[in-house]
Amino acid sequence: MAKLYFRYGAMNSGKSTSLLQAAYNYEERGQHVLLAKPAIDTKGASQIDSRLGMTREVDFLIGAEDDARALFAERNEGRDIACLLIDEAQFLTAEQVDDLFRIAVEDGIPVIAYGIRNDFLTHAFPGSARLLAIAHSLEELKTICRCGRKAVFNGRVVGGRFVFDGDQVAIDEGADGSAAPELTTYESLCGRCYLEESGGRLG
């Protein structure tokens, strides 16, 4: 039986690199894959960008209201797709994760979803919560904190300082030309360093 896989990790744990490598491995064997990601992630528009510099266009974007299984079925029509690979899966809705589960179980196509487990306030993203609940296989992609421990959280840094208030999604904050946008970045942190930065606050 085909399975739904969730490969999760903190920011900078190499998820996109791992996804592109998985696509390459299939294609090296002469098999076809489809790549997709939620449309909410505007930072790379319709591309998957790995930190190592590899870039690839997705085959389709999944909008917030879209039926992911129907989108997949359109593109799978008449082709022999061996695997569906999803980047930034944390931004999927719970219903779309259920669609992925059906693609695996009922349509017989393995689905490998890559994503971040929790947001900058340590809460699960909707897509990740559902994936953690129903994926057949969970695999953690590890990265290390500045102190050398395993990073499990994603601290949000605005203007060079950690912040612990704001919306869950802050991609391209200020990109609409609003006054004095400050660059939002993230740093992967272990539990101890997160608590030190947050003053002991979790969520």
Which residues does the annotation mark as catalytic? Answer: 88
With 0-12 CB in 10 A as exposed, 13-18 as middle and 19+ as buried, what is 103?
Answer: buried
Check if the beta carbon of residue 133 is closer than 8 Å to that of residue 1: no
Check if the beta carbon of residue 162 is closer than 8 Å to that of residue 194: no
Nearer to Zn ion, 22 or 193 (CB): 193
Residue matched to tokens 């294609």: 27
Distance in Å, CB of 196 to Zn ion, minimum: 8
List the structure tokens of 182: 């400050």
Q: What is the DSSP letter of 150?
A: B
Amino acid at 75: R
Nearer to Zn ion, 92 or 145 (CB): 145
- Write out the residues near Zn ion by the rule CB under 5 A: 145, 147, 149, 190, 193
Nearer to Zn ion, 71 or 193 (CB): 193
Distance in Å, CB of 114 to Zn ion, minimum: 23
Nearer to Zn ion, 36 or 190 (CB): 190
Distance in Å, CB of 162 to Zn ion, minimum: 13
39 contact partners, CB below 8 Å, separation of at least 6:
61, 62, 63, 64
Distance in Å, CB of 153 to Zn ion, minimum: 9
List the structure tokens of 97: 């994760």
Q: Give CA–CA dist 87/122, Å, rounded.
A: 20
